[in-house]
Amino acid sequence: MKVAIGCDHGGINLKPLLIEYLQKKGIEYVDFGCHDKTSVDYNEYALAVSNAVAKGECDKGVLICGTGIGMSIVANKVKGIRCGHCHDVFSAKMTRLHNDANVLAFGERVVGPGLAMEIVDAFLTTDFSGDERHARRVNKIRAIEEENMK
Ligand code: RB5
């Protein structure tokens, strides 16, 4: 598995810790920035990570900003991306099981580093359930994309 990871200045303290976690787990990753505390627009980092996942260059994406909100809004505008905005382990697990989310977004100003690590772990280690009802709903999301993101 290859993970695309990105943050804005609001997630700059957490990203290195998550990268350390990925390295310890032997998970391949691409760091799309940002790399310092200079104020930047979350849009470009969310787009870079989401495009890498949508194009199949990476399998999953992780986005961190202050709240995770801006990142998730942008990510969900990219065709093929289902971004879960999760601040607890249960939601991170469920967004994989039920929504087959391929990008996770959360806020450094919302969760501490320990919980953040567990959220990422749940997201990366949980497979889509594949249940017919969930697959049907994910396909309905794809149909909306086909209609609205031509
Ligand atoms: C940056 O101040 C902050 O607005 C951003 O990190 C994020 O929380 C936006 O949704």
| Dist. CA 133 → ligand 1 center (Å) | 35
What's the 42 CA to ligand 1 centre distance in angstroms? Answer: 7
Take atom 10 of ligand 1 and give the residue whose Cα is closest: 70
**What pTM, to 2 d.p., does this model score?**
0.97
How far apart are the two ends of the chain, measured CA to CA in Å? 29
pLDDT at 150 over 80: no
**58 carries an active-site annotation:** no
Q: Find tokens 């905005």 and name the residue.
A: 85
3-state class (DSSP) for residue 100: coil
Distance in Å, CA 5 to ligand 1 centroid: 16
- Continuous H helices in 85-150: 89-97, 113-125, 132-148
Residue 66, ligand 1, Cβ within 6 A = yes
**Alpha-carbon gap, residue 91 to 84, rounded angstroms:** 8
Question: How far is CA 148 from each of CA 16, 70, 75, 137, rounded to the nearest angstrom?
Answer: 36, 20, 15, 17
Which tens digits make up the pLDDT trace of 21-67? Answer: 999 999 999 999 999 999 999 999 999 999 999 999 999 999 999 99
For every residue of 37-94, which 3-state class applies, written as one string?
CCCCCHHHHHHHHHHHHHCCCCCEEEEEECCCHHHHHHHCCCCCCCEEECCCHHHHHH
Q: pLDDT at position 139, please?
A: 98
* Digit-coded pLDDT (tens) for 83-136: 999 999 999 999 999 999 999 999 999 999 999 999 999 999 999 999 999 999
